[in-house]
Chain A
Amino acid sequence: MKKKLLLPMLAVPLALAACGGNGGETRTLTVFNYSEYMDPEVIEMFTEETGIEIKYEEALTPEDMYTKYKAGGISYDLLCTSDYMLNRLISEGEAQEVDFSSFEYGGNIGQRYWDFAAEYDPGNKYTLPYFWGTVGILYDTTKVHGPIDSWEVLFNGEYAGDIIMQNSVMDSYIVALKYLGYSINTTDRDEIQAAQDLLISQKPDVAAYLVDEARDEVVAGNAAMAVVYSGEAYLGREYNPNLDYVIPKEGTEIWLDSWMVTKNCKDTDAAKQFLDFLCREDVAAMNFEYIYYSTPNEAVLESLSDEERSDPALAPDPDATDNCEVCIQNDAATTELLNELWKELRAN
């Protein structure tokens, strides 16, 4: 009986593998993106409209993406990743210049976001903004007393044992650096050491260092507040109306995920067509509805309700992001220092 069952099951992946290979003469783009970062229907729509097939691959972190891209086992045409990683890829000559002004729908991307991107892509020659957001505090209004508007609540011991920090190097240090009034892109060892001392003294008050589960812990009421990405905060409030999100007054990090065409891309016309497609209002709206991170697409923004448009978790206005910075940290020595300090912090 067992053998009978086994054989057809064995045949399945073989058949799958066999039909994966022959693409014929159709045009194909290999696209590398974060997981759950595009509505699957968008991909189907694009293929339907243009006849260009999309080979879609997903990654969890910018570093995973970088490792797999650099290994060269797969020739990616387009990839979407984060600010500092784009900075690195551009400086390593991995990106292809694209004339975004020739895009039919390129105008939908607001000037504010091109300016953000210019921090790591001066002149906006290589990258197209896709989604963006801030890092802030998601908190449970029923568990806090007094206003939450500063990073201070994480460090003054008031909410000891009720705080969740991010389990990632950069997202922890930017909090401390900003609270101390330094730049998040600092390379000054003393400033970084001061941030380290602050984080070490904070450690006994921290309930947990989490990445993906941080939001759920606050939603479930296991903690009063967590440092999260704005997009996570938006989702969190959907599940628990008592939650609120704040961009602390000391300022924070602005993160920006953008697309770039790799230097290996042969069919640049197809790649540009795809990027232009992503800027089209209906497509951008589909992705926005799917992901619910802040969109740089002004056509989509205009279609939102007033309430949504003034929501700091969804569309923070320029005043709120005045003293915020885009993370472009790419200095090898600083990166190494931060990583060492982070291990030390966790071992402490």
Chain B
Amino acid sequence: MKKRLVDFISRFYFILIMIFLYAPILVMVALSFNDSRSRVVWGGFTLRWYGTLFSNRQIREALLMTVGLALLSSFIALIIGGAAAFGIHAMRRKGYVVMMGITNIPLLNADIVTGISLMLWFIRFIPLGFNSVLIAHVTFNIPYIILALLPKIEQMNRSIYEASRDLGASAARGFFTMILPQLAGGIISGFFMAVTMSMDDFMITYFTKGAGVNTLSTMIYGEIRKGIKPEMYALSTVIFAVVFVILLIVNFSPANKKAGNKREGMI
């Protein structure tokens, strides 16, 4: 009885939070079907924004740029930040404090400060373009990786790794079979946070980008004054639907049900 009550409250709470998180998303989905260029006027139902979306070259290019930049910068950040997290963990007090301080700097600075200071520094040795944006994104992504990984490394059970070494496994094999699986959660959530931050960033991208490099963020910010183009809502809805469907397929595919412990692959 009591268990059922707790279950009920749990579900209720979960649903409440879901409503909170999804209400704005539903508004965006609704706006993608709105037959009006203004977000605050309902002009009837239409599908035409989906049509114009797919014929819009600029949006397509910006989408590719955004996704590519987010994945690439997060991936580089994962390599550098992941190694760094191990290194920092092994440090003694002074090194640890200094490194964590440095790690916090990109989080501490207002975006505009980071953006302008990077721009002023970049123009001394590389032209503003894709590469400068990439470096900037890697720079602000690394802290998220470190902050996600460090707690996992602190929790990690090193003795099984050492045991595997004692039993004759190579360092690499020991790492991949014993250490990495323990860190999977941290790696994925760090990568996720980095991708999110990279996709959302406007200020830093704006100041470090060159002419012709456009992300969805820079496009959307440019549209605010005249009204966000409905195509953007359509695009968001499409992205959302695609991720959602992939998620459902992976979660309910028979192969996945059998191999419950293989779910690292799902994301």
Contact = CB atoms under 8 A, between A and B. Distances in A.
Complex A–B touching at CB under 8 A: yes
B128 A73 contact: yes
Contacts of B265: 1-2
A55 B211 contact: yes
A219 B224 contact: no
Interface string B109-144: 000000010011011000111110010000000000
A72 B67 CA distance: 28
Given A1-B265, A13-B68, A36-B226, A60 B221 contact: yes
A35 B225 contact: yes
A92 interface: no
B68 A16 contact: yes
B123 A72 contact: yes
Given A10-B75, A239-B36, A30 B211 contact: yes
B131 A17 contact: yes
B67 A9 contact: yes
A332 interface: no
Nearest to A218: B40
Nearest to A217: B40
12 contacts: A6-B71, A9-B67, A10-B68, A10-B72, A16-B64, A17-B130, A35-B222, A56-B212, A73-B123, A73-B210, A213-B224, A235-B38
Given A58-B222, A60-B222, A72-B123, A219 B212 contact: no
Interface in B182-234: 206-207, 210-213, 218, 221-227
Interface string A22-44: 00000000101001100010000
B165 interface: no
Contacts of B222: 35-36, 58, 60
Nearest to A222: B40
Interface in B140-191: none
Contacts of B207: 67-68
Q: Top 10 nearest A-B pairs by Cβ distance?
A: A35-B222, A13-B68, A73-B123, A220-B40, A17-B130, A57-B211, A239-B38, A212-B224, A55-B211, A73-B128
Interface of B: 36-41, 58, 61, 64-65, 67-69, 71-72, 75, 116, 119-120, 122-123, 127-131, 134, 206-207, 210-213, 218, 221-227, 265, 267
A238 B43 CA distance: 12
Given A16-B64, A216-B38, A35 B72 contact: no
Contacts of A13: 64-65, 68-69, 72, 130, 134
Interface of A: 1-2, 6, 9-10, 12-14, 16-17, 20-21, 30, 32, 35-36, 40, 55-58, 60, 64, 67-68, 71-74, 211-213, 216, 219-220, 232, 235, 238-240, 291
A215 to B, nearest CB: 8
Contacts, number: 106
Contacts of A17: 129-131
A235 B58 CA distance: 24
B263 to A, nearest CB: 12
Contacts of A35: 221-223, 225
B225 A212 contact: yes
Most chain A beta-carbon contacts within 10 A, residue among B58, B134, B212? B212
Contact of B211 (A36, A74, A232): A74
A211 B224 CA distance: 10
B40 A9 contact: no
A240 B227 contact: no
A232 B71 CA distance: 37
A12 B64 contact: yes
A91 to B, nearest CB: 23
B264 to A, nearest CB: 9
A240 B207 CA distance: 36
B130 A67 contact: no
B119 A73 contact: yes
A68 B120 CA distance: 9
B184 to A, nearest CB: 12
Given A16-B130, A20-B130, 20 more contacts: A2-B267, A9-B71, A10-B72, A12-B64, A13-B72, A14-B72, A16-B68, A21-B129, A36-B226, A55-B212, A56-B212, A57-B210, A57-B212, A68-B119, A71-B120, A72-B123, A211-B225, A216-B38, A216-B40, A239-B41
Nearest to A215: B227
A36 B223 contact: yes
